[in-house]
Every structure is written in structure tokens, then in C-alpha cells.
Amino acid sequence: MDNARTIAAPSGAIAASRECIVRAVREARAKILLGVVTVVAIGRAVTAPPPDPGNHITPDMAHSAWHDISGRERSMRREAAVKFPGDLWSQDDDMHERENEAVRSYASKNNVRLTEVVRAMDDGMHAHWQTGGTVQATVPPCRPRLSY
């Protein structure tokens, strides 16, 4: 009803159209702001520099990583067995946590790429590279603990 009345009066019509324009400008400003901040966010995410991955691993280093880490598997498994008696999955998982620490430690100590040390461990197992210990190629099925 209010709108009908303002449109009926000529001066009111001008006021209404002015208000419409002001509203449209305000809305356009808000949309522009929204567009700008969205572009800023996407730009920041796309251009954010990743952490330095390190150098490429050499074939010799790959063998040495495998030899060094797999050589510790037996003692790691024994420690895990004492920590989680009777729970095969937890024992294996604990061993893998220790293995993960060893892999990361090797990568950071030698400033080589973590992905490539991970790959070296798999290559060593598949190609049966020489190892200082015994390695197990299977894992027990995932049976998570009651609480963790």
C-alpha cells in the first residue's frame, strides 16, 4: 500500500526510484566486495608456497634407506608386541608408527623427498633388495582397539 501511494504522487515516484537506485548500488557494491574477497581467497590458496619437499633420492640412497629401516623391523616388532600383547593389529600398527618415524627421520636427515623414501621402501620390498633384518609382507586385518 505504501508503495502504491508513493507511486501515485509524482514527487513520491521520484523518491521511490531514487531509493531503488540507491538499493541497487548498495547491492552491487556488496556483490563486488564479495567477488573481490572470493578472488583474494582463491588466489591466496592457489599461490601459497608449499613446504620445500627436499632433493630427489639417488638409487644408492634408496637402497640405503631400505637397508637401514627394514633392518630395524624385527626389534620394532618386538617392542610393539610388548606394548600391545595379544592384539595383532595394534602390534602391527605400532610397528608401522615406528617405521613411519624412521622414514621421516631418514628423509629429513638426508634432505630428500619423503614420497621418494616411501617409494624406496616399497621398491625394496617388491624387488627383494638386501636387508639387514627380516621383513613381513602381510598385515593383519584392521581391528581398531576399543578406545584410542
Partner 1 sequence: MSTEALLLSVAATSRWRRPVAFARSIAPRTWARIALFTTFAIVAKWFWLSHAGAMVDYRDAQYNSLFENAARICVTHFHELPLWNPYYCGGVYALGTPSARFSSPLFLITLIFGVLRASPLIAVMMCVIGLEGTYRYARSHGAGALGAMLAAPVFALCGFFPRSGAFEWINFLGFQLLPWAALGLRRAFAGEIKGAVMAGGAVGWMTCFGGTYAAPYTLLVGVLELAAALVRFRRDRKRLASALMLGAVAALLGVGLALVRLWPIAETLASSPRVLGAIDSNPPLAIAKMLFGAKIPFRGDFLVGVLVLPLALLAALERRNVWILGIACFFLWLASGFSAHPSGYALLRTIPPYTMLRSPERFLVPFALAYAVLVALGFGRLQRIARKRKWKPWVVTAALALACIDDGVLADNEWAWQRGRSLMAAPESSEPREFTNARGDRWLAAYYPGIARGTLSCFDDYQVPQSAALRGDLPHEELLADASAGKLERTSWSPNSIALHAELTKPARAIINQNWHPGWRVSEGTLADDEGRLAVDLPSGTHDVVLRFRPRSGIYGLITSLFAIAACVVLWRVRRLGRFGQLGVAVAPLLVALGALAFVHEPPRPIQRLTLPNGEPIVQTDPPAGAQTIDAEFEEGITLEAARAITQRGSDGPTLDFELDWRLSGPAPTGLGIFVHFEPDKGDSVNVDHVALATVAPFEAFPPNMTLRDALPGIAIESGKTYKIYVGVWRARRGGERLKVVKPGSATIDADRVLVATIHAP
User: What residue ranges bind partner 1 (CB under 8 A)?
Assistant: 26-27, 29-31, 33-34, 37-38, 40-42, 44-46, 48-54, 74, 77-78, 81-82, 85-88, 92-93, 96-97, 99-100, 103-104, 113-115, 118-119, 121-122, 125-126, 128, 136-147
Nearest distance from C-beta of residue 71 to partner 1, angstroms: 15
Q: Would you say 17 or 38 has its CB closer to partner 1? A: 38
Strand partners of residue 55: 112
Q: Would you say 13 or 143 has its CB closer to partner 1? A: 143
Rounded CA gap, 57 and 63, in Å? 10
Q: Would you say 1 or 146 has its CB closer to partner 1? A: 146
- State the alpha helices, DSSP H only, in the chain: 2-8, 10-47, 59-70, 73-83, 88-109, 114-126
CA nearest to 131, candidates 80, 72, 61 = 72
Nearest distance from C-beta of residue 6 to partner 1, angstroms: 20
Q: Would you say 16 or 125 has its CB closer to partner 1? A: 125
Helix (H, G, I), strand (E, B) or coil at 50: coil
- Cell numbers standing for residue 28: 552491487
Nearest distance from C-beta of residue 10 to partner 1, angstroms: 28
Nearest distance from C-beta of residue 8 to partner 1, angstroms: 27
What is the sign, positive or negative, of the torsion defined by CA atoms of 96, 98, 101, 102? negative
Q: Would you say 13 or 32 has its CB closer to partner 1? A: 32
Query: Rg (Cα) of the chain, in Å, rounded?
Result: 32
